[in-house]
Amino acid sequence: MSTDTKRRLFLRASLSAGALGMAAGTGLLAPGRVLAAWNEAAFKAESVGDALKGAFGSDAVTDSAEITMEMPDNPENGAAVPVEVTTTLAGVQSMALLVDKNPRALCGVFTPGKRMKPKVSIRIKVSETSDVIAVVKAGDKLYTSRKGVKVTIGGCA
Amino acid sequence: MASKTIKLKAKAENGEVTVKTLIKHPMETGRRKDKDTGELVPAHYIREVTCTHKGETVLSAEWGATISKNPFLSFSFTGGAPGEEIELSYTDNKGGTETATAKIS
C-alpha cells in the first residue's frame, strides 16, 4: 500500500470518526446506535408491510413491469436461492428484497451510488414456498414486483 | 490488502466494471438450534456492506440474517478502468468487520 493510500485511509477514518462523535455529542444518534445506522425496526419486522414502513416509511407500492426478477421457480434448497433484480426505472434511490413468508420479511436494502447500475445479484434464504418481492424506490415512489418460489427444503430463515 | 474472509473480483468490460464477491460468514439467524446441545445458536450475520471506488461509494447495502450463509453478491458500475482499485468492507452484528481491496482487471 502506498503512502498516499494510507494517508487517504487515515483521513477518511478520522473524518468519519469525527462526524460520528459530533452526531453522538449532539444527541442525533441514540447510544448503542452510534456505530451502525442499521435499520433495526425494518429488519425485525415480521410482515412485508411493516418491513416496508420501517425501511421506506411507507408500504404504498405500485406494481411495475420495469422491475425484472430472475430466479429459479423450483430451487432445490431454500438456504441459498439466487435472485437477480434489475430495473429500467429512472432515478433509482434504493432497492429492497423481501420474502413474504420468512419469519423476518426483509432480506436486504441496496443503495446504489451514482455510478452503479440498478442491478443486484445475491443469494437469499427462503424458509418455505413463498413470494419473493423486490421493491424499488425511484423518484420518491415505491415500485414492486414479485415472483413465487417453490421450496422443497426450507432455508431455516 | 488481502482478506481471509472476502473474495473480491472486479472485471472491466464494455465500459462497465462487474464486481463479484464471496464472503465467508455463518449468517446465523439466531433461530437455529445446535444439533448436539439443543441450544439456540446466537445470531451472527453481516449487517452492512459498502463498496467504494476512487473514494466514492458505489454501493452500500444493509442486510438481515436472511441473506444466505457465505453470501455471494454481484453488481456493476461505470467509470472504472483496469488497474484501479476497489474496496469492499462489511460489518456484522457482533461488531466484526473486514475489508478487502481488489484491482480491476
**Tens digit of each residue's pLDDT (9 = 90 or more) over B19-42:** 999 999 999 999 888 888 999 999
Q: Is the ipTM of this complex over 0.90?
A: yes
Q: Return the minimum-mean-pLDDT range out of A20-29, A135-144, B96-105.
A: A20-29
- Is B47 at the interface with chain A, CB within 8 A? yes
Residue whose C-alpha cell is 432480506: A107
Instruction: Give one DSSP letter per residue of chain B, joined into a string.
Output: ---SSEEEEEEEETTEEEEEEEE----B-S-PBPTTT-PBPPPB-EEEEEEEETTEEEEEEEE-TTBPSS-EEEEEEES--TT-EEEEEEEETTS-EEEEEEEB-
Size of interface A-B (CB pairs under 8 A): 112
Residue of B nearest to A43 (CA): B64
Q: Collapsing DSSP states into helix, strand and coil, what is residue A112?
A: strand
Asked if A32 is an interface residue toward chain B (Cβ–Cβ < 8 A), one would say: no
Taking the CA atoms of residue B61, residue A51, residue A143 and residue A122 in that order, the dihedral angle to the nearest 10 degrees is: 40
Q: Give pLDDT tens digits for A42-74.
A: 999 999 999 999 999 999 999 999 999 999 999
Distances, alpha carbon A28 to alpha carbons A19, A23, A32, A48, B95, in Å: 11, 5, 12, 28, 21
**pLDDT value, residue A153:** 81
Angle (CA) A138 A94 A115, round 5°: 95
How far is Cα A100 from Cα A52, in angstroms, rounded to an integer? 12
**Nearest Cβ partner of A117 from B53, B60, B77?**
B77
In a mutagenesis test of the B interface, which of A43, A102, A133 is the best target, namely the one with the most B β-carbons within 10 Å?
A43
Distance, first Cα to last Cα, chain A:
40
User: What residues 126-145 of chain A have any CB closer than 8 A to a CB of chain B?
Assistant: none
What's the gap in Å between the CA of B47 and the closest CA on chain A? 7
Going by C-beta distance under 8 Å and a sequence separation of 6 or more, which residues neighbour residue B78? Answer: A115, A117, B15, B16, B17
Instruction: Give the three-class secondary structure for A119.
Output: strand
Rounded to two decimals, what is the model's pTM? 0.83
What pLDDT sits at residue A9? 58
| Residue A149: pLDDT over 80 | yes
